[in-house]
Structure 1
Amino acid sequence: MAPQWVLVCHGLVTLLVLVSFLCGHWPIFKGTPIQRIHQFITFGAYDYFLRFVGVVFGTKGTDAVLSVEYFCCDRPNPILQVLYLAILGGIYYLIAKSIFVYIPGYYLSGLHRYTSLLAVGVGLLLFLLTSFSDPGTVKAENVSQYLSAYPYDNIIYSEKECSTCKIPKPARSKHCSICNRCVSRFDHHCGWMNNCIGERNTRYFMAFLLWHFLICVYGTVAIVLVLVGRAKELRVIYILTVYYGIENSFFSLAPHVVQWLLSSYNTQILVTVFLGIVSLLLAGFFGYHAKLCLTNTTTNETFKWQEYVSWQKKLNEARASAAALKASLNGMSSERKPPESKWRSFFRKSPLEDVEVVVKSNMYDKGFIQNLSEIIFPLSTRASFTQTKSKSG
């Protein structure tokens, strides 16, 4: 197989695995091979591995694997943080080693050596801010202030006590089992940050996603411009058309130009493909969380609403079925009526068609501008929150 086809196949397989791992649980992929690959990667492969360890090493081996799993998945740990730094440093090293030698070039000035370093530095700063900032930890000392931040909607949030912290549980908060703390406006626990994403650091998290998306797009475009500039400087098109007699058209020249790029700049091509795939994934992830922010919803609340709507729908269907059964029993006990026409019974509307539609009613959605302001300026950082704190004190 030609090298270019090996690279194409490698890129497609990498994209499939990344999309399946990160997005395979999305409803849009339900019942597709992507969902099955996701289940195998996240559950199936580990289950087979655990069984294999149990057969070969017995219960001691299984216990050792489970202890490692507990440390990696159920307790705060810096593994993914270190992995992020390794990926960021490795990619920047490859770019500096394989691209900086051609800068300045035909299309890029020498300034891009420094702007790339600045871009990575800002990305690292946003990573540190998100990782080490307070997500909005609810404690006995400040629980009264967080209780006043958001009212209970008595749908997915009602007045109750956290069974672990033994303090009142504010609306929109959740006890994180990994960090072992209650977090205000809890979104999710991010392993890459080794921190919860909550009310006070969602802004840093969103900035982190957007900035890294822009970095990947910037890196992809910069490398493409470097490669196009090299082709221009080395007069590749001129040589192919004049000395090799290849027709001067896109479809005739493209395979030869690609072959030249893969043979001369394979490292740069691999980095470009990697950055392109990551930029697509970051765009999807940022878009999903941007929609949540603009509707004043969290990832945790999305699952809560799904459970509520599903439960209410089943409850309404059960009520409709019970009402239809009661009506039919009443009809049987009354005077016997002439048998109904088969055609009439065939076209009769099912009682389930009259089921009341369950509508999501999010009282925290206060409009585009106010929702965005609550992300940029969290309620717990405002003067009104401080005043409430001083009064309660």
Structure 2
Amino acid sequence: MAVQWLLVCHGLITLLVMVSFLCGQWPIFQGTFIQRIHSFITFGAYDYLRRFVHLACGSRGTDALYSVEYYCCDRPNPIIQVLYLLIIGGTYYFIVQSSFGYIPGYYLSAVHRYTSFLAVGVGILLFLLTSFSDPGVVNSANVSQYLSAYPYDNIIFSEKECSTCKIPKPARSKHCSICDRCVARFDHHCAWMNNCIGERNTRYFMAFIIWHFLICMYGIVALALILAGRMKELQVIHILTDYYGIENSFRKLAPLVLQWLSNSYNTQILIMVFLAVVSLLLGGFFTYHAKLCLTNTTTNESFKWQEQLSWQRKVNEAKASAEALKASLGELDQENKPRESKWRTFFRRSRLQELELVKNNIYDKGFLHNIYEVAIPFSTRRSFLVNKPKSG
């Protein structure tokens, strides 16, 4: 049973670490141990390392650590890209070493040797395409076209100049401090891609997420069919029921079959657990970005809207406090007046109700148009080259 518990602990720890690292800052996890794990992984562990280096090596060691931090976190670098290639290459290598000997099998034909290689190859191709494609860099040559393509909403985007590039800043754009360039319809800077995700390559990024989710699901199903085929070929159920007299029921057979699988094919089980965790994270990540695409919003804009709505709430709270203070002062002047009917007070509409918190996204023009804008970006259309900025 030690192997089974090892598999369970491996799956739970992997899931906990990945969820904490990727999602620990979400509001739903605020104040929980997941947020504390996220803080330790992203800030606490580094802070302890910095203190240790300072005690062991002094200021020179600290300066060297800061130089490494600057290179890894504040400048473009291929470290995470290499890590991605190691993860996908290592996973595929273990699948080949542990499972290709059983292909063809009872449920899988030999063609899956080649389809699996093709699936991984397409995934790497999409990775390279997203990593090295133009995200939609804004420069003096195309800034006028981007100004026409994306009007200012004067809520989260207003007319201004980029202080670094010294050119007008189109709506929905952002200057990436890591890449040191302005990017149109900026979504986020992706460390895995070592590139910004913007107007021109969001479509590749979405295809990359979808394809890798499908790869993970394909791997899980293929490995499950390999294990099922091995059970069929070795007649495991027949041996348990006829030779050992085990009742032919799921409740009786399932624990024994799982024990046999974990002892005989633990590598395949570990890979399946890993792929299941990754597929869950990719599924959630895709759902989030699909919602953004359908509403024609970016990650950067969602944060801006959160700040805007938070500011509106604070204004409303301040006005509510002023109204309450004014009402309490008014009560002092109305002590001698007849009291107002409770029903009239109950149904009286508060003036604060008129101050609604509304997210007015002018770029959302219906999900079909929004999908078309992501699939066929403005800058790839013929009309983009002849667009002129509106005067005045």
TM-score range, shorter chain: over 0.9
Do the aligned partners of 1:136 and 1:199 also contact (CA within 8 Å) in 2? yes
Residues 70-149 of structure 1: matches in 2 within 5 Å?
70-149=70-149
Do the aligned partners of 2:148 and 2:388 also contact (CA within 8 Å) in 1? no
Q: 2: CA distance between counterparts of 1:327 and 1:253?
A: 73
Q: 2: CA distance between counterparts of 1:376 and 1:206?
A: 10
- 2:223 maps to which residue? 223
Question: Partner amino acid for 1:59?
Answer: S
Query: CA shift at 1:354, angstroms?
Result: 4.1
1:300 aligns with 2:294: no
- Give the TM-score, by structure 2 length: 0.94
- Percent identical residues: 72
Question: Partner amino acid for 1:210?
Answer: I
Do the aligned partners of 1:142 and 1:389 also contact (CA within 8 Å) in 2? no
**1:346-383 CA deviation, whole Å, 9 max, x = no partner?**
99999797472211110000001000000000011111
Query: CA shift at 1:325, angstroms?
Result: 2.3
Do the aligned partners of 1:197 and 1:205 also contact (CA within 8 Å) in 2? yes
**1:326-354 CA deviation, whole Å, 9 max, x = no partner?**
3443554x46526979x99x999997974
Q: 1: CA distance between counterparts of 2:115 and 2:5?
A: 34
**1:140-191 CA deviation, whole Å, 9 max, x = no partner?**
1111111111100000000001111111000000000000000000000000
Do the aligned partners of 1:320 and 1:352 also contact (CA within 8 Å) in 2? no
Aligned length: 389
Query: CA shift at 1:52, angstroms?
Result: 1.9
Question: Partner amino acid for 1:76?
Answer: P
* 2:312 match: secondary structure: helix
Provide closer, same or farther for how the CA distance between residues 335 and 236 of structure 1 changes in structure 2, counting only shifts above 3 A: closer
- 2:189 maps to which residue? 189
Do the aligned partners of 2:162 and 2:175 also contact (CA within 8 Å) in 1? yes
Q: 2: CA distance between counterparts of 1:29 and 1:44?
A: 18
Aligned CA RMSD, in angstroms, stands at: 2.4
Do the aligned partners of 2:316 and 2:352 also contact (CA within 8 Å) in 1? no
Which blocks of at least 5 consecutive residues in structure 2 are unaligned? none
Residues 349-364 of structure 1: matches in 2 within 5 Å?
354=353, 356-364=355-363
Higher relative contact order structure (alpha carbons within 8 Å, sequence separation ≥ 6): 2
Do the aligned partners of 1:123 and 1:211 also contact (CA within 8 Å) in 2? yes
* 1:239 match: secondary structure: helix
Query: CA shift at 1:56, angstroms?
Result: 2.1
Provide closer, same or farther for how the CA distance between residues 69 and 352 of structure 1 changes in structure 2, counting only shifts above 3 A: farther
Question: Partner amino acid for 1:171?
Answer: A
Question: Partner amino acid for 1:383?
Answer: R
Question: Partner amino acid for 1:120?
Answer: V
Q: 2: CA distance between counterparts of 1:84 and 1:242?
A: 48
Do the aligned partners of 1:313 and 1:357 also contact (CA within 8 Å) in 2? no
- 1:241 maps to which residue? 241
- 1:371 maps to which residue? 370
Do the aligned partners of 1:317 and 1:355 also contact (CA within 8 Å) in 2? no
* 1:72 match: secondary structure: helix
Question: Partner amino acid for 2:336?
Answer: K
Query: CA shift at 1:210, angstroms?
Result: 0.1
Which blocks of at least 5 consecutive residues in structure 1 are unaligned? none
Residues 315-354 of structure 1: matches in 2 within 5 Å?
315-332=315-332, 334=333, 336-337=335-336, 354=353
- Give the TM-score, by structure 1 length: 0.94
* 1:182 match: secondary structure: strand
- 2:386 maps to which residue? 387
